[in-house]
Structure 1
C-alpha cells in the first residue's frame, strides 16, 4: 500500500434529489460535480444505480455517457451496475458504445445486490440474528452490524426489485455473470457451441471492478478472477475488514491485475469548521432512515428546517451516523487516513451529500486541498 498522503481520492455520486428540487436538477448537478472533481484532481467519478427512489442516477450507464461527454480526463464508471437487472450482453454493449467515443476512461463496476435480494426473498439466504458488539480496530470504528435482511425483504423493496425485471426472471449466478462480461469484452464469449460477439463491446478498453459488502461471493469472485475490489465502508461499515481480508486471501494474479487492489468507500461532509460540518450533515440520518425503514431514499432534507430524529429512528441509523466522516478538513483527513491505514486501501472513494449543492462542491474542494490533490490549489 502507498503512504496515506499518496493515496488517490475518487468521487461516488448518487445524484440525490434534495427537498424542494427535482430529478432533472439532480442530473445537471451530477455533471457539474464531475467537472468540479476533475478540476480538483479526483481520479474517478462513479455513479450508483438505484431504482424507484429519490436519486437521479437510476439510468446509470446513460448518465455515465453524459458525464464522460462533459469531462476530459477523469475516469467515469458505475458503482455498481446491478448484474441481476441487466444481462452481460446489454452491459458490455452499453459500455462499449461509450468507450468508442471516450476510450480508456471507463470503469465497469459490478454488484450482486439483485441476486442478494432474490436469495433473501426466496429464503435461500440465512438470516443473521446474533448481534455483534462494536469494535474499534486501531482507531477505526467497526460498529455492530445492521440486519439488512429485514430491509431486503420489505414489501416496497421486493416490489421495486420485481418491477425492474421481466416476470419470472431469475438473476444469474454472480460469478457466471462476471465471467460472461469479461468474455464479451475479450471477444471470447460463447453461448453453448456458438461464438457471439458484442458490437460495440469486444475489445473495449473498459476496466472491470467488483463491489462487495462482506466476505461472501463478491469478494471471492473479485479475488479469484484477479479483479480490483471496492469495499463499502459507507454502506456496511461492520463488515469492511472481513470483506477486504476475504478478497486478498482469494486473490489470484490475472491478465487484469498482478496484485490485489482495494478501494474503500466513505461518506464525508467537510466544512470550514467542525460545527458547520455537523450542521450540514445533520439530516444524513433522516436520509438513511428513509432507506432502512423500507420506504426508499427520500428527498434529502434541509438541516435548517428538519426536526431531529427521535431515539427510535436514531437507533436504526446509528452505525451509519457514527461512521460518517464529518468536520473540518483536518478532522476528516485524520479520519480518512485511519480508514486507509486500517483497511490498507490503495484508494479511497468519497461520497458527500448535503441539501445545499454549493456545500457539496465545497466539501469536495476542501477535502481535495487538505489531501493535497493535484489541481486542488486553483481558485
Structure 2
C-alpha cells in the first residue's frame, strides 16, 4: 500500500488571523495522526498574506508538541535563505525535542519574490550553484565529522531525515547523487514530474541514509460527501492560485459556487495547468484519482495537500482521503 502524508501551508483565511491558523495547524496535525498519515509537513514561504508558516522551525515545534507519533517536518526549508549552520542548530533542536520524528526537506527556491528574498538575505549576490555545497555542509554538521571545523550545538549527531525537494530536474539529479529521498512539487508545478522521477530512479546512488530510491509527489485533494460540495470547497484554493499567478497574493477567500465556470479563458488555463495533479469529489472519486496518479508515477508516497476556507470541512476532506488511501484495492 502506498504511504500517504499531509502538506499544510497553514492558510490564513479572510476574516481570520495567524493565531487561529496556528491553532488549526496543530489541530490538523492531530487529526492526520489519528487517520494514519505518515508525516505532516509545513513549508517555508515569506511575504505571503495567506500563509502563516514563514518561521518554519517554530511551527514544526508547535505541531510536534501537539502530536505524539506522526513525523513532523519541513517540506521544505529554502536553504539559500539560511546559513547551513543555522538550520543544523534549528533542526538539531527539533530532533532533541522530538527524537525520531523530524523530517528536513531542502529546496533551493526563495519561497518569495525577489524583493522579499533581498530583505531576508540582504544580498542576492550569491552563487546560484551553491545549493549542493550547502546541503553537503549541512550534512557535515549533523555528522559532526570535523570537515567544517565547527561543531553545531545543537545539531551534532542529530538524525533528522533529509529530503531533497524539487519542481525541476535539478533536484532529482542532486537527490540521486546524494542518495537521499526525493519529493516532487507536482501539486503546483506538474510539468517535469515524469522526467524528474525517471532521472532520480535511473541515477540514484545508495547512501548511508537510503539504499534504494524513495520518491514522493504532491497531490491536491478536495473530498466531500458530494461532488458538488467538493467543487464548492475547492474554489477557495482556486481563487488563491489565480490571485498568486496574476501577481495579487491574498488571504484564502471564502468559496464561491460556480467559480471555475465564471473564469475568463486565460485564468481557466492557469488553473487547468497548475492543478493537473488534483482530485475533486466524493471519497470514491478521490480514491480513483489518487490510484491513477500512483499508477502513473509509481511513487512510494503521496503528499496530499489542499487549502479550504472551512477548517472542519478541510479535516473531513483529509479524513475521506485517508479512507480512500487505506481502502483495499478492488480485486
SS at match of 1:242: helix
Matched, 1:200 2:196: no
Which residue, 94, 103, 108 being the options, matches 1:98?
94
Q: Which residue in 2 is equivalent to 1:161?
A: 117
Q: Which residue in 2 is equivalent to 1:183?
A: 140
Which residue, 54, 64, 68 being the options, matches 1:58?
54
Contact 1:284 1:321 in 2 (8 A): no
The CA deviation at 1:284 is 2.3
Q: Which residue in 1 is equivalent to 2:193?
A: 240
The equivalences for 1:293-308 within 5 A come to: 293-296=246-249, 298-304=250-256, 308=262
Q: Deviations over 1:169-227 (max 9, x none)?
A: 52661111111111111112434xxx2111110111211001011212x1111000100
The separation in 2 between residues aligned to 1:312 and 1:9, in whole angstroms, is 33
Q: Which residue in 2 is equivalent to 1:76?
A: 72
SS at match of 1:210: strand
Matched, 1:266 2:219: yes
The separation in 1 between residues aligned to 2:251 and 2:133, in whole angstroms, is 36
Q: Cα RMSD over matched residues?
A: 1.9
Q: Which residue in 2 is equivalent to 1:125?
A: none
- TM-score (normalised: structure 1): 0.82
Unaligned runs of 5+ in 1: 1-5, 118-155, 374-379
Query: Structure 1 residues 189 and 267 mapped into 2: Cα distance closer, same or farther (>3 Å)?
Result: farther
The CA deviation at 1:306 is 9.0
Which residue, 20, 29, 38 being the options, matches 2:33?
38
SS at match of 2:165: strand
Contact 1:234 1:265 in 2 (8 A): yes
Unaligned runs of 5+ in 2: none
Q: Deviations over 1:283-331 (max 9, x none)?
A: 32211112212333x1111114796433332223321244321111111
Q: Which residue in 1 is equivalent to 2:182?
A: 229
SS at match of 1:326: strand
SS at match of 1:257: coil
Contact 1:157 1:294 in 2 (8 A): no
The CA deviation at 1:8 is 1.1
